[in-house]
Structure 1
Amino acid sequence: MLDLAREIIGSQPILTAFLAIGLGYLVGQISIGGFSLGVGAVLFVGLAIGALAPKAQITGPIGLTGLIMFLYGIGILYGRQFFEGMVGVGQKYNLLALVACLSSLLVALGLGHIFGIKIGHTLGIYAGSVTSTATLQAALDVMKNKDPSIGYSIAYPFGVIGPILCIYFMTRMVKPKFPVKAQRFQMGEISIGKSHAGKRLDELMAGALSEVQVTMVRKGGHNFVPAADIVLSAGDAILVVAEQTEAIAKAAAALGKLESGRLASDRADLDYIRVFVGKASVVGVPLASLPMPSGFPTRLLHVRRYDADLVPAPDLMLEFGDRIGVLTPPDRKDEIRRHFGDTVKAAAEFSYVSLGIGMVMGVLLGLVPIPIPGIGVVTLGVGGGPLIVALILGKLRRTGPMLWTMPLPANIVLRNFGLAMFLATVGVNAGQPFVRTVAESGLTMFFIGVAVLLTTVFIVLVVGHYVLKIPYDDLVGVASGATGNPAILVYSTKMAPTERPDIGYAMIFPSMTLVKVIAAQIVGLLMAGSSAG
């Protein structure tokens, strides 16, 4: 029976790939002390399958296609935050992560040389310690054998759990304090006092109302969409929204007083409707330029994106699946629904045209040779090229009619499935040599991986906190980005429950991925040249 299973697995690569993915996700859900491997378990199940069935090989572009899907999804999602991180404090954060990543590479090379570890295994250990699949692929390309996969597989587990343990102990030592997470959408009704009677709305918006947005005006017993030339009288009321309650309280103190119920309870002139964003024509456009139905008054009141309510700022862009609140005459609701699409299915839809074009541009960029004097020619490869193109497109969001972004649920599916395909391929193909190498020098390689990982995390956390005085929630985001695995970011957000770890991760992960990819190729070329010499 076992021989039959081996024969089937060895002759059916597609079956083998999905077997590794399915069983891998099952194993990845097992939690021990709150720690689980998640999608990383696909790699180890693949190794087990490869060791069990020596003939099992997943050939063709399956694994590379998965890697491109994963990196493209990362770039599209984090493009805007990445480029924002290239200025201001982001430069300091990236410099810190750069020193950490290059220092850990030197540690890997030094220890590998001392203990006689092959350079392919060493590069794999480095890639596994910082859980970088793109670096693994770069090492595979430059070494032209399976050695990096073996080193990666040995170092990967501690590459995930190590940063989590370090962040845990660092948090216990530092005991950081964070403000209570406040809702980012606040609303209030302000009754206008006598001191501001006779003033136009645009005058007040340039002064007392500068920190809030006016979404509706009540005058003469009727509700209106705000217009700049409306002249307010004593007793009139305005509905305002802001991210902070303090801004609303400040505006109310300056203009009159907070008095709820007058505008919201009267829906004779303007009613409130919530619709899903489901049309490409309204996605990726700043709200200040957003086309609205003509012929009747409308006003966007608020935006609900996944679990967060957002103030409709002029530069905010709608995404597929957003649920928006719109003020409109009661008899115009159907026109609003048609204008925005109003379908929840949009949360899982995106343009395959833009996806295909973006990936083609990324692969082509990855093929461009980059000559380095005295070393040789490197390329961004299938790891760096698609990532750079996706970051640029994620920043642009839209080019004319071409929408580059995708809804978060679709992005998560694309990334996770792509990563699972890549890890399954690497694991199955490296199964047999992995067993031999572990038996020979597995313990030594594991401890080298531990040293590499601790070097990365120690530099980021200790230098970042005690020398550079980086805010702690930013710091754990930088550490997560430098070490790479999304599970580390999830844990960081538990230790620092603000939005800053996500922003720090977005600033660091793409740039450090590119650094690791190029560094791995340079080291591989240098070692190959010295061996030839």
Structure 2
Amino acid sequence: MIVELLKSQPEIALFTSLALGYLIGSIRFGPISLGGVCGTLIVALLLGQTGARIAPDLKNIAFALFIFALGFTGGPQFFANIGKGWRYGLLSIVEIVSVMTLVMIAVVLMKLDAGTAAGLLAGAATESAVIGTASEAIARLGISPEAVGTLQAHIVTAYSVSYLFGLITIVLFTSQVAPLILRVNLRDEAARLFRKLGGDGVLDEGQRLALPPLVGRAFRAGPAAGIQVAQFEARFGNNITVERVLREQRQIDADGQLVLQSGDVVFIAGRRESMVDASASLGEEVSGEGFTKLLAQRVDVMLTRRDADGLTLAQMRERASAQAGRGIYVSAITRLDTTVPALPGTVVRRGDVLTLLGAPSDVKRGAQRLGYVIQQTTKTDFVYLGLGVLVGMLIGRFGLKVGGVSLVLGTGGGCLLSGLLFGWARSHFPVVGSLPSAAAQVLKDFGLATFIAAVGLSAGPDAIKLVREYGLALPLAGILMVLIPGLLSLWIGRMFLKLEAPMLLGAIAGQQCSTPAISALVGVTGNSTPVIGYTITYALSNILLPLMGPVVVGLAAKFG
């Protein structure tokens, strides 16, 4: 009865796969969890034995939305990191070249078909989007529908097997094995790097400062009487700002030309360490009850200025004039929906979201100079979204032949490129194309999970046949396709690129597109310094690896 129900109403199988898959994927084994996508695939493969199938049109629509949203959100960071992030970007190239070479070696030695080869690439590189781009490429090989279905089933089966072992390998390699090879104490190295970048302490993951880095305090001017505000602020590196002065029961908005007088009650905001140094030069601290309507504003700003790209936060403050940078503080940096530590030595990139904190007038001035304010909206511009997906489908129809190998981007590759361009355009012309981050995340999560569930259901009994045919060869290949690129990147990054260990290991987790690996790494280091390297390689590999799907299919079809 259940089998007939699933066959007659496949939507039940779809949502069962999503619900149970994400439940299974949330179970943690130490630092490792399968994740919702892999969990969904496992459940879908099991339910696929009942004969339940999802219409191909739904599968194609879901994947088109996912891959466009992936490109849209990664577009600004992708283009920002192509040039100035070349040291980390080189590691993504190492990943692409080495993993493609290993896949082709496996094709020749193990006589892999195009589907199994593509699934091995997707699983070992932990990049689920390869499944979609490779599936489309297989459909264009000019073979029978039955053969197409078999090869597409081989993709998801090889993916599910190699993904599990690849995931475990990259998590253990970055957090445990690589530090032993480098002979470093990763926690001590991360603490040292944190201080080098301008941090004054190290937080364990999940903790917050009881003493916030940005504070406001009120003092009665004593030793500071007779000093001009601009001179006083410059004495402490402009890391504090005299916001307002209470003089004879009258409040004065302080500017750089104001001269402090004895008895003034001065309200100062700024960085805590500078505030501590400045307090001795001010006088007695008071409650500041006389100040009214003293507001602090927090605004998220997309950085678009070319001359700020590649600078550290400290360099940005040094290059700004005293008036332009006055009263503006960066309290957080968000890159690819990941929080990067906002330390003086942190390098910013175009496309970063800077959280500015300060008086409303100061924050407004800073936002105008740095980029544009991200409006907190829940509305999606469906004109922009629909046009972007349509352009992607048109791009996907174009292809070429290289050495007898037919390469066609397909809807997946086309929508990925379209998403990149539309996301980049949105970051430069923010008046159109609203796609809130929450909406984009839903498109990515639901689109990919639905696509994966559909291909998992269609795999059916072919999955079991493939596992029996190759046995332990696929898991072993998945492990080697993680270890060899990881070791190469470790050697190149340390010996030639001279990267700091925490950021190098974060970059290796990013080139592998592994969120569990960076989570484990942050837990081991005790702070978020590895995220700085992770975001750059993740942005590049997340775009380049899916484009390799059609390449693997074409090469494997010719040489396999």
Shift of 1:103: 0.9
User: How do 1:396-411 and structure 2 match up within 5 A?
Assistant: 396-397=426-427, 399-402=429-432, 404=434, 406-407=436-437, 409-411=438-440
Q: 1:99 to 1:400 in 2, by over 3 A?
A: closer
Contact 1:284 1:398 in 2 (8 A): no
Match of 2:244, SS state, is strand
AA at the equivalent of 1:175: N
Higher relative contact order (CA 8 A, sep 6+): 2
Amino acid at match of 2:172: L
- Structure 1 residue 59 and structure 2 residue 64: aligned? no
Does residue 36 of structure 2 align to residue 9 of structure 1? no
Contact 2:92 2:540 survives alignment (8 Å): no
- Tell me, yes or no, if the aligned pair for 1:185 and 1:309 is still in contact at 8 Å: no
Residues 305 and 323 of structure 1 are in contact (CA less than 8 Å); yes or no, is this contact kept in structure 2? no
Distance 1:501 1:262 in 2: 40
The 1:83/1:308 distance shift into structure 2, 3 A limit, reads closer
2:158 matches 1:128: no
1:245 equivalent to 2:252? Answer no
Whole-angstrom CA distance in 2 between matches of 1:393 and 1:202: 43
SS at 2:56 equivalent: coil
**In structure 2, what is the Cα distance between the partners aligned to 1:439 and 1:484?**
29
Q: 1:393 to 1:210 in 2, by over 3 A?
A: farther
1:357, CA displacement in angstroms?
Answer: 4.6
Q: Deviations over 1:142-173 (max 9, x none)?
A: 22231322321221111222111112323652
Letter in 2 for 1:62: L
Distance 2:500 2:394 in 1: 36
Supply the distance in 2 between the matched residues of 1:390 and 1:240 (Cα, whole angstroms).
Answer: 45
Which residue, out of 84, 88, 91, partners 2:86?
91
Matched residue, 1:429: 458
Spell out, residue by residue over 1:226-251, the C-alpha distance to the aligned partner (whole angstroms, 9 max, x if none).
44553433443544444x43343455
Q: Matches of 1:422 and 1:301 in 2, distance apart?
A: 43
The farther-off stretch of 519-528 and 354-363 is 354-363
Q: Which residue of 1 aligns with 2:293?
A: 270
CA distance in 1, matches of 2:29, 2:526: 23
In structure 2, do the counterparts of structure 1 residues 142 and 26 end up closer, same or farther at CA, with 3 Å as the change threshold?
same
Partner of 1:151: 158
Aligned mate of 2:448, from 408, 415, 419: 419
CA 1:216–1:375: 2 relative to 1, 3 Å = farther
CA contact (8 A) 1:83 1:507 kept: no
**What are structure 1's unaligned runs of at least 5 residues?**
288-298, 329-345
Deviation at 1:110, TM superposition (A): 0.7
Higher deviation after alignment, 211-220 or 431-440: 211-220
Compute the displacement of 1:479 (Å).
Answer: 1.7
Contact 2:384 2:432 in 1 (8 A): no
Q: Secondary structure at the match of 1:26?
A: helix
Match of 2:514 among 485, 489, 497: 485
* Whole-Å separation in 1 of the counterparts to 2:329 and 2:100: 51
Greater Cα shift, 446-455 or 346-355? 346-355
How far apart in 2 are the matches of 1:526 and 1:316?
36
Name 1:294's counterpart in structure 2: none
Aligned to 2:264: 236
Q: Which amino acid aligns with 1:85?
A: N
Output the CA distance in 1 between the equivalents of 2:274 and 2:387: 42
- Contact 1:160–1:485 (8 Å) recurs in 2: yes
1:502 to 525, 528, 531: 531
CA distance in 2, matches of 1:166, 1:302: 34
What does 1:115-264 align with in structure 2 at a 5 Å threshold?
Answer: 115-144=110-139, 145=148, 146=152, 147-170=154-177, 173=180, 174-176=184-186, 177=188, 178-179=190-191, 180-181=202-203, 183-189=212-218, 192=221, 197=226, 199=228, 201-202=229-230, 208=236, 210-242=238-270, 244-250=271-277, 256-257=281-282, 259-263=284-288
Residues 245, 253 of structure 2: 8 Å contact kept? yes
Per-residue displacement from partner, 1:445-482 (whole Å, max 9, x unpaired)?
22222221222222233443455332222123212222
Cα offsets for 1:376-427 (capped at 9, x unmatched): 56454444444444445555536253254524x5444443222221221221
- With structure 1 as the length reference, what TM-score do the two structures score? 0.76
Count of equivalent residues: 481
Q: What CA distance in whole angstroms lies between the structure 1 residues aligned with 2:466 and 2:350?
A: 53
* % identity of equivalent residues: 22
Instruction: Choose which of 24, 28, 31 in structure 1 pairs with 2:28.
Output: 31
Question: Closer, same or farther in 2 for the Cα pair 1:497/1:224, shift >3 Å?
Answer: farther
One-letter code aligned to 2:273: E
Inter-CA distance 455–501: structure 2 relative to 1 (3 Å threshold) = same
The answer (yes or no) to whether the contact 2:91–2:537 under 8 Å persists in 1 is no
Structure 1 counterpart of 2:98, one-letter code: S
8 Å CA contact 2:123–2:159 kept in 1: the answer is yes
Distance 1:235 1:142, change over 3 A: same
Quote how far apart the aligned CAs of 1:80 are.
4.4
Superposition deviation, residue 35 in structure 1: 2.8
Residues 266-288 of structure 1 deviation map (CA, whole Å, 9 limit, x = unaligned): 24x4244889x8xxxx976999x
Q: Deviation at 1:121?
A: 0.8
State the partner residue of 1:290.
none
The AA in structure 1 aligned to 2:272 is: T
Cα pair distance change 1:356/1:126, threshold 3 Å: same
Measure the CA separation in 2 of the matches of 1:101 and 1:36. 25
Cα 1:302–1:100 shift into 2, 3 Å? closer
Pairing 1:379-394 to 2, within 5 Å after superposition: 379-391=408-420, 394=423
Q: State the distance in 2 between where 1:103 and 1:286 align.
A: 34
* Alpha-carbon offset, residue 22 of structure 1: 0.9
CA distance in 1, matches of 2:399, 2:510: 26
Which of 90, 97, 100 aligns to 1:102? It is 97
Q: Tell me the distance in 2 between the aligned counterparts of 1:223 and 1:302.
A: 27
Q: Distance in 2 between matches of 1:104 and 1:195?
A: 63
Deviation at 1:86, TM superposition (A): 2.8
Are the aligned partners of 1:300 and 1:327 in contact in 2 as well (CA < 8 Å)? no
Amino acid aligned to 1:257: L
CA–CA separation in structure 2 for the residues paired with 1:58 and 1:432:
16
